[in-house]
Amino acid sequence: MAEYDGTEWLLSLAVPGARYFAAHVDWTECLQGPARGGYRSSETASVFWVKKLLEHEKVPEVDVDALDRIVEKRYASPRYSKAKVALFWGAVIIGFPLFAWSAFAVDSPIAPGAVGVVAAGILSILSSSWRVHRRRKKLGYTSRQKES
């Protein structure tokens, strides 16, 4: 099954007797334990994973109940709330000019480089957020529904 989690498409597979379709991340956690750092699978990794499973004769031995618990935990995990996102962008809007001012106030030759690196990071996060927003809008996953 193809599943859209709000940011990317992931392929999921259900073993016989399972209540849920499990993604690559769920299978990996069930077989190898939880990943350090909260690593998430990508679209490409899930495609290669399903392709590899389909090429083999049989599915790897996995505890179906444990796999279902892992999927339930993933579905129950909270997404970023609007308050956290607003707090993050407020910190960026206030923190970056303060950082830039303090970097240039010390009159260090490294200051322009440090400000540039931080600005590149902020622009990277902003462009990634914009890409996700555009993709969600294109696919019809908007939070506000138009009233007829």
Q: Residues 61-102: pLDDT tens digits? A: 888 888 888 888 877 877 667 788 888 889 889 988 988 888
Please tell me the total count of domains within the chain: 2
Do 33 and 96 lie in a common domain?
Answer: no
Which range of residues forms the domain containing residue 53?
A: 2-76
Do 89 and 113 lie in a common domain?
Answer: yes
Do 54 and 86 lie in a common domain?
Answer: no
DSSP code at position 109: T
Kindly state whether residue 123 falls inside one of the protein's structural domains. Answer: yes
Do 64 and 115 lie in a common domain?
Answer: no
pLDDT tens-digit readout, 27-70: 888 887 777 765 566 667 777 777 887 788 777 788 888 888 88
Do 62 and 15 lie in a common domain?
Answer: yes
Three-point CA angle 33, 35, 40, nearest 5°: 125
Do 23 and 37 lie in a common domain?
Answer: yes
Alpha-carbon Rg for the chain, nearest whole angstrom, is 21
